[in-house]
Structure 1
């Protein structure tokens, strides 16, 4: 659930404007194990307002203008984090990109607000999704009510920037709504387990079409993804390793792209260039494909495990990057 709601919160909560004059900030960093050579500072609409080059030692220092004091996004090409920037801020960031969120520490003017944001992300990460979904409705309501009250009380007693506090309170409310939506959708998905899986009949990268019934007698592990989806692409190396480990076992690995129809050739090229294994399929109507709608898929990547008789074992299965997935496979296939 890492950062599941943060970008949405930034988008919805950018409601404060303080005139048309420009504001200047100084931002510098020391980044160990950098993911790239450029840092992007983005606004609440995901528009890049500044590109900053990093030297070979992972160090940069830059001065740039922002239109208003607000929340922004720091993006290194792989990972992202929130920033709060205000006229006169002089921030210094120190971090290890291999331990991205956990290692972020700010010093300088504006560090209190931004360290608060960094710690908030870690707290969100620690909220294990499976534990949330295990709660009944009363328990979940109490948990979210307590969470909102605790965070708002802390902000009221803090000495943080007033504008920051106002925006962050809006973020907290949006975060709670996001958790409520996640909880409701997850409960609905749970009800799909043990039901007969919806079928599909999609174009196969190797030619012709393939339907779910073609895999009868085998377990089927389905990856619903898209070429434009960063988290989906990050799962690919893990998926390839899992495919290799269970090659020859009674399981089929199927990837269903929900790219839009106009990107069919892009998908074809991507599958070929990345030498993706398993069965590579292209859904007939992206998000509106029956298979996608019937499984309540509103976010990707999404993984589904189906048994040899076509029953859903888990409509929201573990990702390939999770060690728990192989534990599940070992129990089913050995």
Structure 2
């Protein structure tokens, strides 16, 4: 039976992927105190990127990225690019799983081994994917509505802590750090929504597809901008430069009398929710890709072995959280470009050439 994702569920999924990274590390950290400006630029440019992804899904309705690659580029080139995409989705899934594990083991459950946390998370993701993409969409819708309401309440409690002097002077170091921060924010988290060229094959109509991409971008981008602005104006650029989990630290600043405090635990809950959604989507995309390559009809039988690959990758790729963050800041913005920009553009170009020569 075909799995169907509604427009509201698609919006919630995009929001979850965009906001997951902001819960762990500072976004557009290269921009320093101007990182909020970098986010605004990144959101604007991401509209073009999302138009590209939406165009791919529109040109090939109800077909996933792997099928599209084979049809557009032929068997050999199409399958080669599909292998690369399977690796990419496994990689960003393992990165998210490692982020999740580091956060939980360092800040909330230091007595529990990280591998135990990531193993339980992987098993949960496997269960969600086996239940189907539609179930992940329903969970994302419920979780996102609740989470966004909580974020609004928490942000209002932080307004008294905002110090505008911490974001001044604006662009004192010139435009270059701002643009570098924008580039970083485009690739992480916005460009990772290339994932939805696989997922949105299950969206039930073209209007819902557009809503998923663009309403999700606006809402996710707005909350990312709010979080980034609060991190800079409350914690300062120096703090977010050396803190691994600035959002958690930001919430720890909330004090309302003697009763409302230690609300940073809510940050852990939010990370759990969005992290599980993103890990599940990456696992789904990787499992589906492998099933397409091996010509296996049911991708669900691959969920457990692919989940174990994801778990092992999260453990062996990086020695510790410092090397993970260092690699992400230095290299990810280059590494992600082929998957997020070059290959999607190549698909559109090939399709246009085929139409002209037909």
Larger radius of gyration: 1
Judging by fraction of residues, say which structure has more strand.
1
Higher RCO by CA contacts (8 Å cutoff, separation 6 or greater):
2
TM-score (structure 1 length as normaliser): 0.25
TM-score (structure 2 length as normaliser): 0.24
